[in-house]
Structure 1
Amino acid sequence: MNASFRTLPVCLFLLLSSRGQAAPPAAAPKPAPTRSVSGPTDAERYARRCQSQTAQRIARPQGTMLWGTKRGWDEKPTDERTSVLVSVALDAPKQAEDGVKALRFDQGRLWAVPAPEAGATASDVVGTVLQGTASDGKPVEVAICGAEPAADDPTRVFYRIEAWNPVAREWENPCVALDRSPAPRALAVGGVWDASGAHADAADRVTFACENGAISKCILWGYAPWATRDGKSLAGLHQACTRLARADYCGNGRSHTRQDTTIDIYDRLGVLERATEVTREWDPAKGSFEAAWAPDGATCLSRTRDGRALEGILQECPGRFQADTGDALGEGEVCTVSRGDVKPGAALLRNLSYGPPKAEPARVQ
């Protein structure tokens, strides 16, 4: 295990949505009435994929997201649990090159089926167009434009993807861009996440998890769901991490965190251990226990990360938590409320945070 994973204070950044201000399309001959809303043919659209035709998008603030993708193709306000792309099918590609009939997912990578005679490489899938699905169930086509092995782990591959935007009628990166990641890539992860943040295995579908989303972040922090440690799968830790990263206490897909919130994560298997030294990002003396986490959300809670009252969480998921005034976890980790439907050992992850900023005292006039 890389030593950098042993103590890892993690800075969480709320995702910024990106919206398009694409250049107006060039003038074109007026189409026949029967084709006025049909748009380009499949052959025309596929020829335009991976050409970076979309202008730089304008960032607009929004909350953290699970997939790291845009919520919608237009400017309408939408729920944080929506996405233009939640999964793609591996069979029957819409378009493929070099005789590719399907793709296969294994250990975080996509492989062409059948594999080229000269030997399989990560780039064999580049140019493939897959049938994807948005959170509302609508189809969306996804093109794989690049495959880049990670510098720190060549077995992990980042994919550059584009999706067909039916509003702008062009291909564009569906991943939310941030200043620190203006052209985000995606990791391929097995299975599907729904709007509540729950994960379901699916042999024939994968999720393209964008770099700025919780699914991808948790893999980069050390919790790859296909990996093991001491013979134990990390799949449960990864799913619990997706809840922790977004402060999804109720396990309903809603986040309760703010931009630039620094936290410290640690787990029972020792993938990440509790930080003990002061760094630029974290001071252990200032941190305090926030919550313990299972794959379906928090198992106990000391306080909220963003400073809202605990009563608000209790109202959001009534009956989930009960008052708990004891030192349930040890190591000074006191739960204010805890779940009665799970055993204390169900918690796979714990985290510390600085807590909400204290209000400044009123000035005497």
Structure 2
Amino acid sequence: MNATFKTLPVCLFLLLSARVQAAPPVAPKPGPTRSVSAPSDAERYARRCQSQTAQRIARPQGTMLWGTKRSWDPEKPTDERTSVLVSVALDAPRQADTGVTALRFDGGRLWAVPAPEAGATASDVVGTVLQGTSSDGKPVEVAICGAEPAADDPGRVFYRIEAWNAVAREWENPCVALDRSPAPRAFAVGGVWDASGAHTDAPGRLTFACENGAISKCIQWGYAPWASRDGQSLAGLHQACTRLARADYCGNGRSHTRQDTTIDIYDRLGVLERATEVTREWDPAKGSFEAAWAPDGATCLSRTRDGRALEGILQECPGRFQTEAADTREAGGETCTVRRSDVKPGAALLRNLSYGPPKAEPARVQ
């Protein structure tokens, strides 16, 4: 493991390596004159991958799971557990190169089926349009507009994607843009995540996980679900990481964190180890134990990341945590305030430290 991954104080939204920054957006190109009726398939596919819509800079509070927009209508109230795109089907593409009948997912990459005679490359899938689905079950077409190997690991590929916005009748990047990632890309990840944050293996379907979402971030932090360490799959650690990244204590898809919150993650396999040195982002002396994590949420909780009272978490998922558990100490020596009675102390895959809530300033003597 590269030394840069051994300790990782993590800025939940914006701590991305400069090597992974998105390229500057392509200058907008004017689209064809629209008619009242919907464009034909041929017209729609001809307009893909042309950056017709200016990027919308969003600064959502709390972390995202998929990293995608919640709705194509920015004025419509939405729940944090909704998305314009949650999965795509790899068979029967709506548009593809001549002879390509499907795509195949393997090792974090997409491959054309059948493979070109000249040898397969990451760019073979560029231009393909796949059939996707939003969180409300509605169909949405997704175009693959680019494929770029990650700078720190050429085996991982970032995809530039666009989805057909049926409201604006344009192709649009479904990923939420942030200041440091104005044109976010996506990883292809096997399986599907539902609104509760649970992951299901779904043969023939995958998720495009945008750079600013927890699924993608956990891969960049070292927990690629298709990888293994010392013969053990990292899939469980990746899923636990998606819960940790969003402070999803109850395992119901609800986040309890704020943008730019810095944390320190460590695991029992040694992919990430507890930080011991002071950096610009993290001071170990100021951090304290927050929670231990399994794929379905927190197994024990010392305090909340955003400072809210523990009583609120207990009310959100009644019966999940016990305040009078016989053993309140974790295997690593950390002390829990509440713990799940149905999970053994050593079952947690990940643990994290975070800074406690800001202390109130002492009253001034008049």
Above 0.5 in TM-score?
Answer: yes
How many percent identity over aligned positions? 91
Q: Deviations over 1:138-190 (max 9, x none)?
A: 00000000000111111110000000001111001000001110000000000
Please report how far the alpha carbon of residue 344 of structure 1 lies from its aligned counterpart in structure 2 after TM superposition. 1.4
For residues 126 and 31 of structure 1, the distance between their equivalents in structure 2, rounded to whole angstroms, comes to 22
User: Structure 1 residue 257 and structure 2 residue 260: aligned?
Assistant: no
In the alignment, is the contact (CA less than 8 A) between 1:267 and 1:273 conserved in 2?
A: yes
1:36 CA drift (Å): 8.0
- In the alignment, structure 1 residue 73 sits paired with structure 2 residue 76: no
The aligned residue for residue 59 of structure 2 is 60
Length-normalised TM-score, structure 2: 0.91
> TM-score, normalised on structure 1?
0.92
Q: Which shows bigger deviation, 34-43 or 332-341?
A: 34-43
* CA pair 315-217 structure 1, distance change in 2 beyond 3 A: same
After alignment, is 157-166 or 339-348 more displaced?
Answer: 339-348
Stretch deviating more after TM superposition (15-24 or 194-203) = 15-24
Are residues 292 and 282 of structure 1, via their aligned partners in 2, closer, same or farther at CA, if it must alter by over 3 Å?
A: same
Q: What is the deviation of 1:333?
A: 0.8
On the 8 A contact 2:60/2:259 being kept in 1, the answer is no
Residues 281/103 of structure 1: CA separation in 2 closer, same or farther (3 Å cut)? same
Matches of 1:56 and 1:105 in 2, distance apart?
29
The match for 1:179 is 179
- SS of residue matched to 1:219: helix
Aligned residues: 362
Describe the SS at the equivalent of 2:147: strand
Cα deviation 1:329-355 (Å, max 9, x = unaligned): xx4410000000111121000000011
Q: Tell me by how many angstroms 1:307 deviates.
A: 0.1
Moved more, 353-362 or 202-211: 353-362
Structure 1 pair 238–30 and aligned structure 2 pair: CA distance change class (3 A): closer
Deviations 1:120-139 (A, max 9, x none): 00000000000000000000
Uncovered stretches (5+) of structure 2, i.e. residues with no partner: none
Distance 1:47-1:239 versus aligned 2 partners, 3 A rule: same
State how far apart, in whole Å, the 1-side matches of 2:13 and 2:24 are.
32
Partner residue of 1:348?
A: 349
Greater alpha carbon shift after TM alignment, 334-343 vs 37-46: 37-46
Q: What do you get for the CA RMSD once the two structures are aligned?
A: 4.8
Contact 2:102 2:113 in 1 (8 A): yes
SS across alignment from 1:300: strand
Contact kept in structure 1, 2:329 and 2:345, CA below 8 Å? no
1:14 CA displacement: 8.1
Q: CA deviation at 1:63?
A: 2.6
Tell me the SS of whatever aligns to 2:154: coil
Which is worse superposed, 317-326 or 275-284? 317-326
Query: Residues 32 and 56 of structure 1: is their aligned pair in 2 closer, same or farther, counting only changes over 3 Å?
Result: closer
Query: Aligned partners of 2:335, 2:13: CA distance in 1, in Å?
Result: 26
Q: Which runs of 5+ in 1 are unaligned?
A: none
Query: Relative to 1, partners in 2 of residues 1:327 and 1:35: Cα closer, same or farther, differing over 3 Å?
Result: closer
Q: Which residue of structure 1 lines up, in the alignment, with residue 319 of structure 2? A: 319
* Deviation per residue, 1:232-252 (Å, 9 max, x gap): 000000000000000000000
Structure 1 residues 38, 302: CA separation in 2 closer, same or farther (over 3 Å shift)?
A: same
Deviation readout 1:170-227 (Å, 9 max, x if unpaired): 0010000011100000000000000000000011001000000000000000000000
* CA deviation after TM superposition for structure 1 residue 3, in Å: 1.0
- CA 1:252–1:15: 2 relative to 1, 3 Å: farther
Distance 1:21 1:332 in 2: 38
Offset, 1:38? 4.0
Contact 2:31 2:47 in 1 (8 A): no
Measure the CA separation in 2 of the matches of 1:148 and 1:211.
13
Contact 2:147 2:158 in 1 (8 A): yes
Is the contact made by 1:17 and 1:59 (CA closer than 8 Å) also made in structure 2? no
Cα contact 2:29–2:50 (8 A) shared by 1: no
For the 8 Å contact 1:325–1:337, the answer to whether it is kept is: yes
Query: Partner residue of 2:340?
Result: 339
